[in-house]
Amino acid sequence: MLRRTKKGRAADLALPPRIVTLRKDSLDANEEDYYTSLREESRTKFNVYIQDGMLMNNYADIFDLLTRMRQLC
């Protein structure tokens, strides 16, 4: 089995430095209403998973909810 470590790959893998940019955008009224309804729907689903003790069984669905909220922004 071939295994590479981070140090072993550093020589042949030249990536540019990471650039982190923070943006503060605002939503218009329609977008904000839609985002609020999506957030409440997501929060409700999340709370149901917690109450049922099924959070770890549905982690992919949680990531999907977060992704949809990010895409809306």
Q: Write down the pLDDT at residue 73.
A: 83
Reading the block at residue 12, the tokens are 């042949």
53 within a domain of the structure (yes/no): yes
What pTM did the predictor assign?
Answer: 0.65
Model confidence over 23-70: pLDDT tens digits?
Answer: 998 999 999 999 999 999 999 999 999 999 998 898 899 999 999 999
Q: Write down the pLDDT at residue 15.
A: 79
14 within a domain of the structure (yes/no): no
Number of domains in the chain: 1
60 within a domain of the structure (yes/no): yes
54 within a domain of the structure (yes/no): yes
**Residue 31 domain boundaries:** 26-73
- Residue 13 CA to residue 69 CA, distance in Å, equals 34
57 within a domain of the structure (yes/no): yes
Strands, E assignment, the chain: none
67 within a domain of the structure (yes/no): yes
Q: Write down the pLDDT at residue 65.
A: 93
